[in-house]
Structure 1
Amino acid sequence: MKRISGIWLALGLSWAVQAADENANVYYWTDAQGVMHFSDRPVPGKQMQRMQIEIANPPASNPNPVIDTSAQDQKETPPTIAYSLSISSPLTEQTIRDNEGRITVQNQLTPAIPEEDPAELFLYVDENRYPCDAASLSCQVSDIDRGAHQLRTELVSKSGKILASSGTVTVYLFRVIAVR
């Protein structure tokens, strides 16, 4: 019961503070069960006590700011570069004729990858991952089965973060099958 009355006390004081302008009167009384009640105006028929509360405005600036030293200890991280990666060749819905099942993909990347921060380029053919030449932005895979294939590329940092991803391109690989 005392716990509940403590909650009501805190709740009543918070309501009183919210309702107050600068200085306010708070009325309180204790009922037969020993629970304290609070109000911003007198309740008729209740024997109440009155308390005046002064509300101080907070300072415009914090006189005791907390200084974050963790940021000073860490190295400044360079701003992230927003890369744009797209497949320039082959075009979507293009048919590729190659009896060895080779698909060559040429990409466009803006801005260029800085030499001091190398990244890796990967080609996904139907969700199978193949490494590419990040310097020339070229990818080549071979021995791919004939049929429709979904192609997309990703630029990945050395830490494994995906920096850019191209849209998906659908191509059709045509391979002649020799009948013996």
Structure 2
Amino acid sequence: MLKKPVLLLCLMLAAGGVAQAQKIYKWTLPNGDIVYSDKPPPADQAEEVKLEPLQTFSAPPAPPLEDTSAAKDKEKPAGYEQFKVTSPDNDATIRDNNGNVSVSLSVTPGLQSGHSIEVFMDGQAIGSGKSTSLTLTDVDRGTHTVQAAIKDSEGKEITRSNSVVFHLRRGGV
């Protein structure tokens, strides 16, 4: 039973090679139509079409698949299981005429010795220290983002929190 598929495969491969080796003819009909065929016309009015060699492409080897459990281990920085902005809530609207916004962070386990937290608003560093809560003052009205990073004693970033978007509304006069 296995011999038939193998024989069929061999015949198909051989036929493919023969098909590629055949000639192609081109001629023009009296009404001006151009005809291409693998069979020459009855008269000697056809010319043989010279085909360029087929262009081939070898795909580069695929990168090896990463073990997903190993990828998750790489994502967790050593020593910190969780670091996130807990306040304000994402997409929260804050109403404060003085432009004060309270920011709270959660670090699990607590901040390690020699590490500090740097807070960013709209991508710009606005302060650093060891506290997990602070108040942003005189923030302009509008939409802003807040995020924080934990840095080691050399200033190298260890991990970064989620980014939270908030909208500040200040009353008009």
User: Per-residue deviation at 1:109?
Assistant: 0.5
User: Per-residue deviation at 1:127?
Assistant: 1.3
8 Å CA contact 1:82–1:163 kept in 2: the answer is: no
Listed as ranges, the gaps of 5+ residues in structure 1 are 1-79
Q: Does the residue aligned with 1:112 lie in a helix, a strand or coil?
A: coil
C-alpha offsets along residues 110-152 of structure 1, whole Å, 9 cap, x if unaligned?
11123xx222212111012122442x41122111110000111
Partner of 1:94: 92
CA-atom RMSD in angstroms: 1.9
Listed as ranges, the gaps of 5+ residues in structure 2 are 1-77
Alignment of 1:117-132 (within 5 A): 117-132=113-128
After superposition, the Cα gap between the structure-2 partners of 1:92 and 1:168, relative to the gap in structure 1 and judged at 3 Å, is: same
Partner of 1:21: none
Q: Does the residue aligned with 2:125 lie in a helix, a strand or coil?
A: strand
After superposition, the Cα gap between the structure-2 partners of 1:84 and 1:154, relative to the gap in structure 1 and judged at 3 Å, is: same
Partner of 2:135: 140
Runs of 4+ in 1 over 3 A off after TM superposition: none
Partner of 1:171: 166
Instruction: Supply the distance in 2 between the matched residues of 1:132 and 1:141 (Cα, whole angstroms).
Output: 12
Alignment of 1:21-32 (within 5 A): none
8 Å CA contact 2:80–2:107 kept in 1: the answer is: no
User: Per-residue deviation at 1:177?
Assistant: 2.5
Q: Work out the percentage of aligned pairs sharing the same amino acid.
A: 26
User: Per-residue deviation at 1:83?
Assistant: 4.6
Alignment-mate amino acid for residue 166 of structure 2: V
Would you say how many aligned residue pairs link Structure 1 and Structure 2? 97
Q: Does the residue aligned with 1:85 lie in a helix, a strand or coil?
A: strand
